[in-house]
């Protein structure tokens, strides 16, 4: 029972586990290069009109997602740890139009090869509330679905 409990979220953290039908190097590339990130970043029916990444430990990123009704939301952070092709850790905060930042969380992406597929473990914490966590769960789940579709398409194109 220990393994099952390890995957259960506390009220202030979020874990999403996916098996992606693409090689681990391709999934890592999709997280680490802006031209790839812009193709899948954001929930379903959102676009990513802006993405600037200094993809190195200590480097910053800033990206936007645009809702179907044209609202832009900006997220910012710094890369804390990068171990190619298996681990990316970065801070995450929403940023208002006037530059005010919301609460900061820490996101970690762990990638491991499962034959020709990739196991992706996404973790984000701490959240200020269950509602905030659940909102992120919905957004990131749709984002992961878009990532999967994107890398699977890329993988089959080669």
Domains with residue ranges and CATH for the chain: 2-157 (3.30.530.20)
The torsion region of residue 122 among left (phi > 0), alpha (psi -120 to 50) and beta comes to beta
Q: pLDDT class for 1, splitting at 50, 70, 90?
A: very low
**pLDDT, average across residues 75-82:** 98
Split at pLDDT 50, 70, 90, the class of 3 is very low
Return the percentage of the chain with pLDDT > 90, whole number.
Answer: 88
pTM attached to this predicted model: 0.91
Rg of the chain's alpha carbons, rounded to an integer? 15
With beta carbons less than 8 A apart as the criterion, state whether 88 and 109 touch: yes
Task: Work out the mean pLDDT of the chain and round it to a whole number.
Answer: 92
Tens digit of each residue's pLDDT (9 = 90 or more) over 98-126: 999 999 999 999 999 999 999 999 999 99
- Average pLDDT rounded to a whole number, residues 12-25: 95
Average pLDDT of the segment spanning 63-86: 97
The count of other CB atoms within 10 Å of the CB of residue 66 is 16
The CA distance from 66 to 49, in Å, is 7
Say if residue 22 is exposed, middle or buried (CB neighbours under 10 Å; 0-12, 13-18, 19+).
buried
Distance CA 39, CA 147 (A): 8
């Amino acid at each position: 029972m220990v393994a099952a409990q390890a995957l259960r979220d506390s009220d202030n953290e979020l874990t999403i586990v996916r098996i992606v039908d693409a090689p681990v190097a391709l999934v890592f590339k999709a997280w680490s290069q802006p031209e790839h990130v812009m193709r899948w970043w954001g929930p379903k029916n959102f676009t990513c009109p802006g993405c600037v990444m200094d993809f190195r430990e200590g480097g910053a990123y800033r990206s936007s997602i645009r809702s179907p009704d044209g609202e832009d939301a900006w997220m910012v952070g710094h890369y804390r740890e990068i171990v190619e092709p298996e681990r990316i850790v970065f801070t995450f905060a929403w940023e208002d139009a006037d530059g005010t930042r919301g609460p900061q969380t820490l996101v970690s992406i762990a990638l491991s090869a499962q034959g020709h597929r990739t196991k992706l473990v996404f973790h984000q914490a701490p959240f200020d509330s269950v509602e905030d966590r659940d909102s992120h769960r919905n957004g990131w789940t749709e984002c992961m679905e878009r990532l999967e579709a994107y890398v699977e398409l890329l993988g089959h194109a080669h």
